Chain A
Amino acid sequence: MSDGLRFDDVAISRDERLLLAVDARIPPGEVLTLMGPSGSGKSTLLSLVMGDLPAAFRATGRVVLNGTDLTGLDVAARHVGILYQDPLLFPHLDVATNLAFGLPRGGRRADRRATVDAALADIGLAGFGARDPATLSGGQAARVALMRTLLSRPAALLLDEPFSKLDTGLRDQMRELVFGRARVARVPVLMVTHDEADAQAAGGQVIRLD
């Protein structure tokens, strides 16, 4: 069953104060944008989906991913990928091993190598496998981070202000890449941002918090 990411009457509060309430469905391949100033609690919704909501917050309602209720499920079992404004490549691993990090188990070693090499070629970084992530440019690192998440075959993708640290020129390119890939993979996307242009590029529903 793949009906995307659904928020059934979800409300998050802190100290008895309601932070935000969402009731929405993100169909596969589409983007829901959550806009609001910092401190409006938009990132806590990401935490709720990820499954690492700090203990100070209280959530009611259900988050349902492709028919499965996520409540109480372990972080690792949710298959929810996330991209932050920093690419957060693991600095002690080379680029190829970073990509291999999220590959689901199984398959022969040579097949896994081939998958990673193909993924590198796919984002225009063929031959970059042995590189130290610290030597990549901002745009290259962002692409590797995206590909690392996609290789783990996520059932949903979360974006936490993902383009805010990129140069303006790169930003459009990255938006196109991320949203395009999500559409092809039919992955529902939840994006948190305060950049109006992000919401326009995403072209889906927008929820504004204040």
Chain B
Amino acid sequence: MLRPLPLLTTLVLVGPVLFGLIGSILPASGLLMQSAETPFATALSWPGLPRALAISILSGVLSTLGALAVATLILAGWHGTRAFAVLERALSPLLAVPHAAAALGLAFLVSPSGWIFRIPANLLGWDRAPDLLILGDPWGLSLTAGLIAKETPFLLLMMLAAMGQADAGPRMAIARSLGQGRVAAWLKAVFPTIYAQVRLPVLVVLVFGMTNVDVAIILGPSTPTTLAVQVTRWMTDPDLAARAVAAAGGLILFAATLAVLALWWLGERAIGSVGRAWVWSGIGLPDRAARGVGLTLAGGSAAMVLAGLAALAVWSVAARWAFPDMLPEALTWRSWMRFGPDMAQTALTTLGLAVTATAVSLLLVIGCLEAEVRHGLSLGQRALWLLYLPLLVPQVTFLPGLQLLPLTLGIGPSIWLVLAGHIVFVLPYVFLSLQGPFRAWDGRLARVAAGLGTSQNRVLWRLRLPMLVSPVLTAVAVGMAVSIGQYLTTLLLGGGRVTTLVTEAVALSSGGDRRAIGVWGLGQAVAALLPFALALGVPAIVFRNRRGLRHV
């Protein structure tokens, strides 16, 4: 019964990407949809294209370099210290905060009338917000900064997970005894191994940075915007012909992404040889300064995201709140009463999608992993690339096709299409999150049980899964957070008619109603964080009398 699952999972991962690419290429070439004549030419002659491409590439590359640098510096300078433990605890929940919610919070914080500018305003007695273009600055710098703050925790936790394979403790001892400072020793002796392990996640961050839509709508420039946002505008244009142009735009962005990935690959080689020359030179680094910079940047970005969430929370309960007051004059539940009922309705749809997509993914993942145990069937050597495929091909490239191709077959956008789309993105994360603990489970227990006459199914249901309840719940929480964060999937595959917390929050971001943004942004963050709290809490209660199963 398990045998077809690995193949089925492969189809779920690869099928939509291929299907979507074909569905984008055909209309972009003027086929499939009669209304459009020369979509590629139209997209290429859009006057904003060079600037939009430049901003996409700039914000993507800079945010990836930035997040990688901050995560690396903090690990190199502080791993194993108390400060690091504190920071790790602060950063982990940030991972679950959806991109849109984090971006909305940051927007509140850094806008000219936000908390940050209220500090000098109070000190210097300004009574009006400064006239500065910070949000949506023309070169996407606040977009880049927001992406760095949001992606640093992701890369940091990925790198932490890879530390086990890098033998970091003894290598650091050797390198430091050979006269290297802490940061230099880590960079020279440990980083290359870690980087090799987290290469795919880094590329995911790079592709996301170049092609994301939700963060760019909230923090990015508007005229012209990033190419990904422009593609989304074309896709949601009432004129159907614009959709073929959107497909073409998505493919242009895809080509740019591939070019940047190739350059990144060359950059990796170059850094490799620079690194070797550095080792030969024996030159170190100013250790104190490097550690200070690392702690400041990592602490700063964590503090920004947290303060942003706090700003959302305060605005959601603010009565009158004039510039430059640091806090509102009074607190009120009025905004929650006003938007609460609507939000509860939307939250139900959101959670329904998240639970269903996660349940389907979990079934496929456990089935695949169990098929590996029982029949030696696995997704093969290239499994990792397969898992990363939907994350490495830009969403704006294949999602338009995924809407357009079914449309020509008479299948319009619907919640079912949205659900299918969510599964494509939830599945890889559930798999990545569960595969390690599942494979690390002590197989001798299964053999002992088999010796006692236990069937394989019973071993799975009564032994393996109960013992793995903690990682399974974590995988569920990860899956739900991914689903709750899906903006473009929901928007495009739902044809604008499926509303979730994220589509609503992003839609509100262009308006000026800060209380509404506060309520919806916070609602989205809480919806994504709640499953994580449960994933931590439930095993602690269930296993309160089982010392061997704590901290699994």
- The segment from B172-180, B227-235, B319-327, B535-543 found at the interface with A is B172-180
Write the A40-72 contact mask toward B (1 if CB under 8 angstroms, else 0): 000000000010100000000000000000000
**Across the interface, which residues of B come within 8 angstroms of A33, CB to CB?**
none
Task: Indicate if the CB atoms of B193 and A92 lie closer than 8 Å.
Answer: yes
Question: Is residue A86 contacting chain B, with contact meaning CB distance below 8 A?
Answer: yes
Contact at B192–A82, with CB atoms within 8 Å?
no
Q: Check if B173 sits within 8 Å of A93, measured CB to CB.
A: no
> Which secondary structure dominates where chain B touches chain A?
helix
| Segment with Cβ contacts to A, from B155-163, B247-255, B276-284, B483-491 | B276-284
Q: How far is the CA of A74 from the CA of B175 in the complex (A)?
A: 13
Closest to B185 in A: A76
| Complex: chain B residue closest to A83, CB-CB | B174
A154 contacts which chain B residues (CB < 8 A)?
177
A105 touches B281 (CB 8 A): yes
| Interface 0/1 of B480-503, CB less than 8 Å to A | 000000000000000000000000
Q: How far is the CB of B61 from chain A (nearest CB, A)?
A: 24
Q: Say yes or no for A149: interface residue by CB 8 A criterion.
A: yes
What number of A-B contacts does a CB cutoff of 8 Å give?
A: 77
Question: A76-B176, A80-B177 given as contacts; is B167 within 8 A of A88 (CB)?
Answer: yes
Q: Does A186 contact B (CB under 8 A)?
A: no
Q: Does residue B3 face the partner (Cβ distance < 8 Å to A)?
A: no
Given A84-B170, A86-B170, A92-B193, A101–B177 Cβ distance below 8 Å?
A: no
Give complex CA distance A101, B281 in Å. Answer: 8
Interface-central residue, B179, B185, B193, B283, by most chain A CB under 10 Å: B179
Over the window 64-107 of chain A, the binary record of Cβ atoms lying under 8 Å from chain B Cβ atoms (1 yes, 0 no) is 00000000001110111110101010111100010011111110
Contact-residue size bin, chain B (C-beta under 8 Å from the other chain): 20 to 34
Q: Compute how far the CA of A74 lies from the CA of B288 in the bound complex, rounded to whole angstroms.
A: 12
- Given A82-B174, A92-B193, A101-B188, are A76 and B180 also a contact pair (CB < 8 Å)? yes
Asked whether, in the complex, the Cβ of B282 is within 8 Å of the Cβ of A81, the reply is no
Chain A: CB-nearest residue to B178: A102
How far is A92 from B193 in the complex, measured between Cα atoms in Å?
7
Chain A residues whose C-beta falls within 8 Å of the C-beta of B283 in the assembled complex: 105
Whether the pair B192, A81 counts as a contact (CB closer than 8 A) is: no
With both beta carbons as reference points, the residue of chain B lying nearest to A154 in the complex is identified as: B177
- Judge whether B167 and A148 touch: CB under 8 Å: no
CB under 8 Å from chain B, chain A span 14-53: 50, 52
A100 to B189, CA, bound (A): 13
User: In the complex the two chains form, is A97's CB within 8 Å of B174's CB?
Assistant: no
Residues of A within 8 A of B181 (CB): 74, 76
Using a CB–CB distance below 8 Å, which chain B residues touch chain A?
A: 167, 170-171, 173-182, 185, 188-189, 192-193, 196, 276, 279-284, 287
Q: Which 8 A-B pairs have the closest CB atoms?
A: A102-B178, A92-B192, A105-B282, A75-B176, A152-B178, A100-B280, A82-B177, A103-B282
